[in-house]
Amino acid sequence: FNIDTKNPDVRKGEKKDFFGYKVLQSVCSPSLVHECNGNSYVNSVCYNMTSQLEPNSSFRPAFQECTKKTVDLVFLVDGSLSMSDNEFNQNKDFIVDIMNTLKNSSIKFAAVQFATVPRTIFDFNDYQAGHDRAKLTNEEHMKLLTNTHQALTFVLKEILENDKAGASADATKVVVLITDGDPTDSDGNGIVKIYDDKNIIRFVIGVKRFRAIASEPKDKNAFKIENYNGLKGVLVNFQKKIFKVEGSKVARAGEMTNEMAQSGFSAAFHKDALILGSVGSNSWRGSLQDRRGQIETQIEDPHMQMDSYMGYSVAVGEKSGNPLYFAGAPRFEHKGQVVLFRDTGMKWNATQNVSGDQIGSYFGAELCSVDVDSDGNTDFLLVGAPLYYQFLEKKEGRIYIYMMELKFDQQVSAPFTGRFGSTISSLADLNGDQLRDVAVGAPLENDNTGTVYIYLGDRHRGIRSTFSQRIMGQDLDSGLRFFGQAIDGDMDLGEDGLPDIAVGSQGAVVVVRSRPVFNVTARLSFLPNKISIDNIVCPSVGDRPLEMVDLTVCFEMVETTKSSSMNISYMLHVDPSRLTFRGFFDKANKKSRNLISICELKGENTCFNYSIYMPVCVVDTLSPVAMKLNFSQVDSEHMSAVLNSDSKRHADVMIPFEMRCKTHNICIAELDVDFNFTTPTLLVAKDNYFNVTVKLSNFGDDSYHTGLTIYYPQGLSFSRMTLVEVT
């Protein structure tokens, strides 16, 4: 309610550079790509910025170096009868060419010929001892059947998984099958599936259509040639394939560690630690990187599933001096999950988690921890699910509020459609109630122009369930897009003692300033303390009004933030609930029961005096006269200070009449009724009258709401009453 939307500071940059994607003191580029032996690794680089937005240092978290891994590669050569001796020798030459090209790599080679039965040409030990060329040269052509599946079983047991053959247990295992036809045996033992389960890469170089044994994707791992003269043509392409395998961490991309980490996708500070989210590490299970100085620790959840994106968001908290790390995994089981990590002294352990309840909602895409009373202990965790959809209401986005320890407290749904909850930021105290407040972004609202919602803090529930202000990007600058995709509001950028909010949008950052906030309390008082009834005469004689009381209206202004003054408008009402008025403000206008005024409040107390009048005849002097005051701020959007939305904006006072009672304001009346007939007899006839004179006297205390009832015979009708005398 106190964010100035009329004078925003809009700073624009290049959209192509994703300017405005994040607004933080430490910024990371999570998509830094570097090539490793033909493989593209997606890591990151982070920069620490000064207050003048100058980078003073940089580092690369969870960086995967271009390291070559051990590869055990077996050539499985077809020696069937359908192949000529010349073609068989061409196979040998192809093997020699491959080994010559990769002789300085970390690849170990072995070779097996197969026909009806397989036979080892040379194993890994022979290759490392330098005996491979001689054995390959001396190998004779078998010229029998093509039992390919039997040969694959032999290679697995006798070469790839046989340490006596020089195999390395941790090596990436590769089989290169060179054949001129389909197998003559069947895969009765499921050897191809076994190879898949063991992540053994298979390349097939075939003269005919032969793809079944190749690894996925088969189109890229099967090389078709018309005849063995075509081996030279696939040599260069095949060498690149093998070289890429050497540079990869393991056999398949599904088992990567930090090659695609994108560390810095999310970031948070806690004291001397920088915590970064690495969404792509461990086959996109995700992890956190805890960086303290030059020391970097990777934090993982052993139960996190593949492709969960843990680290998509990160938040930090503290309880009793112990740090807490929260990590969002919005793709966990397609519903999303948030994991709480605690430091046990030896390592960080995942101690608790909470999951989303709607498929595709992206629960955990945004996290925000809130120390609502700023006592050093985290009180609430806010979790965003920006894709949560309410079909009937046509609303998109929801935030969940959890008390420590991840105990559900309340949920706040999107007011409209627009990915509400894409960003959540804890703000410095905006309204001076000593509680931190929260901003929630909906960057796709209003046709992708974006909106930011301000929620005031609540000591018991984290935030209030209804927003206090809605800031629409289109109202600040018609060119803004995705306003609210990033929010940060913990700094005083204007150095005026008031918190400001930086909001990111596509190609621009908008700084909106908070305005001073006042608590204003109204007070009514009057003199004399009771309304005199001395001059009240009923029925009234003349129209000259009587003075009722002198009313004093005071406004007490308490500064909750840095501020100077403010304008308010107030309205006074006399007896607002009565149809018959007993008081008015203007002596010349008895109908002036209301008064409206505008004033400027500068000091701590501002008072105004008014005279209240009443008619000569006031019938009801028992009930007090009610005075009511309502006030509000004048043109709050353009004012430099704002009236606190929590201020009680009304005041009431009851003004009593005098009571002339002998004992303790308890009036005991002594009423006496006397009457006589002015005509001795009644002749019942047309147009004949029977007059009665009644005298009502009170010899005790004042009597209120006194009534006189006269009963008369049927047949008579009441004509009129005339007041003779009042004393």
Mean pLDDT of 10-33: 60
pLDDT of residue 420: 93
Model confidence over 562-619: pLDDT tens digits? 556 778 889 999 999 888 888 999 988 888 889 999 988 877 889 999 999 999 888 8
Residue 710 pLDDT > 80, yes or no? yes
Alpha helices in 478-620 (DSSP H): none
User: Which of the four pLDDT bands, split at 50, 70 and 90, describes residue 253?
Assistant: very low
Amino acid identity, residue 560? T
For the structural domain made of 71-253, what CATH number should be given? Answer: 3.40.50.410
pLDDT at 159: 96
pLDDT score, position 26:
46
pLDDT for residue 248 = 45
Residues paired with residue 75 on neighbouring β-strands, in sequence order: 111, 176
Residue whose C-alpha is closest to residue 332's, from 351, 358, 314, 352 = 358
Fold of the domain built from segment(s) 517-655: Immunoglobulin-like (2.60.40)
Q: What's the one-letter identity of residue 358?
A: Q
pLDDT in tens, 410-448: 888 888 888 999 999 999 888 888 899 999 999 999 999
Q: Can you give the pLDDT at residue 498?
A: 81
- In degrees, rounded to 5, the angle at the alpha carbon of residue 106 between the alpha carbons of residues 257 and 206 is 90
pLDDT, mean of residues 518-540: 88
At residue 182, the pLDDT reads: 75
Mean pLDDT (whole number) for 90-103: 84
Q: What is the pLDDT of residue 71?
A: 82
- Work out the average pLDDT over 508-537: 89
State the Cα torsion 704-708-709-713 to the nearest 10°. Answer: 180
Alpha-helix residue ranges (DSSP H) falling in 121-186:
124-129, 132-138, 148-154
Does residue 338 or residue 492 have the better pLDDT?
A: 338
How many CB atoms neighbour CB 45 within 10 A?
A: 18
Say which range, 216-225, 234-243, 701-710, has the weakest mean pLDDT: 234-243
Q: Pick the more confident residue, 472 or 233.
A: 472
For the chain, domain boundaries: 71-253, 517-655, 666-727
The whole-number pLDDT of residue 113 equals 95
* pLDDT of the residue at 8: 80
pLDDT tens digit sequence for 640-696: 778 888 888 999 999 999 888 877 778 888 999 998 887 777 777 777 788 888 999
How would residue 251 be classed by pLDDT, with cut points 50, 70 and 90?
Answer: very low
pLDDT in tens, 38-80: 566 666 666 666 666 566 666 666 555 555 667 898 999 988 8
Predicted confidence (pLDDT) at residue 95 exceeds the cutoff of 50? yes
The span from the CA of 217 to the CA of 425, in Å, is: 44
Global pTM reads: 0.64
**What local confidence, expressed as pLDDT, does residue 243 receive?**
47
Average pLDDT (231-237) is: 49
**Helices and strands, number each (H, E), in the chain:** 10, 41
The residue that leads in pLDDT, 485 or 41, is 485
> Burial, 234: exposed, middle or buried (Cβ in 10 Å; 0-12, 13-18, 19+)?
middle
Distance CA 648, CA 520 (A): 8
What is residue 637's predicted lDDT score, i.e. its pLDDT? 61
- Is residue 372's pLDDT more than 70? yes
Look at residue 446 and give its three-state secondary structure.
Answer: helix
C-alpha 314/C-alpha 327 separation (Å) is: 5
CB atoms within 10 A of CB 589: 11
pLDDT tens digits, one per residue of 123-155: 999 999 999 999 999 999 998 888 999 999 999
Which helix (H) or strand (E) segment holds residue 94: the answer is helix 85-101
Percent of the chain scoring above 70 in pLDDT = 82
Query: Percentage of residues in the chain with pLDDT exceeding 90?
Result: 36
Buried/exposed 241-257: b ≥16 CB within 10 Å, e otherwise: bbbebbbbbbbbeeebb
What is the signed CA dihedral for 250, 256, 259, 261, rounded to 10 degrees? -170
Residue 231 has pLDDT above 50, yes or no: no
Categorize the per-residue pLDDT at 208 as very low, low, confident or very high, splitting at 50, 70 and 90. Answer: low
Residue-level pLDDT at 500 = 87
- Identify the pLDDT of residue 45: 66
* Mean pLDDT for the chain overall: 83
Residue 408 has pLDDT above 90, yes or no: no
CA 386 to chain centre: 8
